[in-house]
Amino acid sequence: MFRIIFLVLCFGALTARAETPALSQIVRVTAIEGVLKIEPDDSYQINPRPMVVQGPESKWQVSISRAARPTAPQILSLVRTAGGTQKPEEYWTISITALSDQVNITAARAMRVPHATTLRMLQRADKSIRVNIVDGEKPEAEPINIDAANLLALRAKHPDVVARFIVPMLTQLVGEDPLLPGPADVYRAFYEIPPQESTVAALQRVLPKLSAASSQQREAASVELEDLGPVGVCAAVHLDQKELPPETAARIEAYLANYSRRRFDDPQVMRDDLPFLADCMDFAFDSRVRSAARARFEQLTRHAIPPADWAHAAEYARGQIAGSRESRESRPMQ
């Protein structure tokens, strides 16, 4: 009997360990228009005592607290527990404090060598960014201190800094670069890219269910819609929502909003936006988007990206943008 009880307890412990929630289930991280927002998900109750969750590449501790005053804002704390990293650009420790109007991040990597790289980033109440970096790989260099209107403005002006220090940290948090446009943004901008016929057929099968009489059927259909992923977004963008029932149109709009990180009414404006085009060259889901963005960038700049740089076209384009801006800013006033 004791052996049976022991086995049941062990199985229960293993099950509980296997059911460690994902960080993405506990915390919502968005970067709409380059403004970082980190907030608790309403589906989970987060306590002052840290709970351990599974991030994209490591365990994190998440907790929430409130100052002594009853009206004080809640403070969300995320800490990447110190441990091994898989890539040299990853941070050994990351500590994030998020309020409703402010985000404070401190991170360090290569902590076991004499010169550690440290990143401190503050997003203020006005959404502006202040970054301080001590580059452990170049201990003789002066610390990097930068202010910018938001993270997108920071990348446009200092793409190398964002690529080397900020994107790796954000990727450890969310599993991808959240500063890139979402699928809904790129497929709206490059409307001429057609959806796959199989995806259109799958979407057409879901559409009638989105306005079914039963709320359970509608919710199940929304889950089916989400399961289509980024390729489904391309098909959904091509729908004429005016021809859809109101409930269906609302659910399609919510689906597209989940895959959007930019706010614009006129897609043509984004087709003329060089930083946006550079970011589209990093769009991992569809090579047609990367090719279309590169062609549009070359058309606007009248400068061809060399074939040898196509694999790093986004990096090349951002360098061009930053160089042109620096040249303009250093030009003497007439």
pTM for this prediction: 0.86
Q: Which residues pair with 107 in a beta bridge?
A: 94, 119
Q: Tell whether 12 is covered by a domain.
A: no
| Whole-number pLDDT of residue 68 | 63
Task: Please determine, for residue 11, whether its predicted confidence score (pLDDT) is greater than 60.
Answer: no
Q: Is the pLDDT of residue 312 over 90?
A: yes
Pairing between β-strand 51-54 and β-strand 59-66 as defined by DSSP bridges = antiparallel
Residue 14 to residue 8: CA distance in whole angstroms: 10
Q: Residue 333: pLDDT above 60?
A: no
- In this structure, the answer to whether residues 86 and 121 fall within a common structural domain is yes
Q: Residue 98 — φ and ψ, nearest 5°?
A: -125, 125
Q: Within this chain, do residues 184 and 333 fall inside the same structural domain, yes or no? A: yes
For residue 209, the model assigns a pLDDT of: 94
Q: Domain end: 174, 204, 231, which one? A: 174
Quote the number of domains for the chain.
2
Q: Are residues 290 and 304 located together in one domain of the fold?
A: yes
Among 189, 208, 195, CA closest to 248: 208
The per-residue DSSP string of 260-276 comes to: -----S-HHHHHT-HHH
Cα 53–Cα 100–Cα 256 angle in degrees, nearest 5: 75
Provide the residue range defining the domain that includes 75.
21-174
pLDDT of residue 326: 63
Asked whether residue 327 falls in the same domain as residue 184, the answer is: yes
Per-residue pLDDT, averaged over 282-289, amounts to 95
Q: What pLDDT was estimated at residue 48? A: 81
The amino acid that residue 183 corresponds to is P
Residue 37 lies in a domain: yes
Residue 160 has pLDDT above 70, yes or no: yes
State whether 108 and 195 are in the same domain.
Answer: no
Q: Residue 299 pLDDT > 80, yes or no?
A: yes
Are residues 62 and 141 both part of a single domain? yes
Which burial class, exposed, middle or buried, applies to 173 when counting CB atoms under 10 A from its CB (0-12, 13-18, 19+)?
buried
Residues 166 and 30 in one domain: yes
Note the pLDDT of residue 83: 82
Give mean pLDDT, residues 141-169: 96
Q: Which residue has the higher pLDDT, 308 or 121?
A: 121
Q: Cα dist. 323→76, 102, 160, 332 in Å?
A: 38, 31, 12, 16
Residue 327: band (very low, low, confident or very high) from pLDDT cuts 50, 70, 90: low
Give a yes or no: residue 104 inside a domain. yes
The residue among 157, 174, 191 that closes a domain is 174
Closest CA to 176 of 25, 30, 19: 30
Residue among 104, 47, 107 nearest 74 (CA): 47
User: Is 271 inside any structural domain?
Assistant: yes
- Which residue type is seen at 59? K
Question: In this structure, is residue 3 part of a structural domain?
Answer: no
Q: How far apart are CA 160 and CA 169, in angstroms?
A: 14
Are 208 and 191 part of one and the same domain? yes
Q: How far apart are CA 179 and CA 262, in angstroms?
A: 10
Same domain, 78 and 94: yes
User: Residues 37, 79: one domain?
Assistant: yes
pLDDT of 334 higher than 60: no
d(CA 320, CA 75): 40
Cα(301)–Cα(321) distance, rounded to whole angstroms?
10
Contact of 102 with 114, CB cutoff 8 Å: no
For residues 47 and 149, state if they share a domain: yes
Summarize the confidence of residues 294-301 as an average pLDDT.
Answer: 97
| Joined tokens for residue 73 | 């804002």
Rounded to the nearest integer, the mean pLDDT of the chain is 89
Q: Is residue 5 part of a domain?
A: no
- 3-class SS at 248? helix
Mean pLDDT in residue range 180-202: 96
Q: Is residue 11 part of a domain?
A: no
**What DSSP string describes 150-186?**
SHHHHHHH-HHHIIIIIHHHHHHHHSS-TTSPPHHHH
Q: Is the domain of 214 the same as that of 140?
A: no
**pLDDT at position 30, please?**
95
Ramachandran region, residue 33 (left: φ > 0; alpha: ψ -120 to 50; beta: rest): left
Is 288 exposed, middle or buried (CB count within 10 Å of its CB: 0-12, 13-18, 19+)? middle
Q: Of 174, 189, 207, which marks where a domain is finished?
A: 174
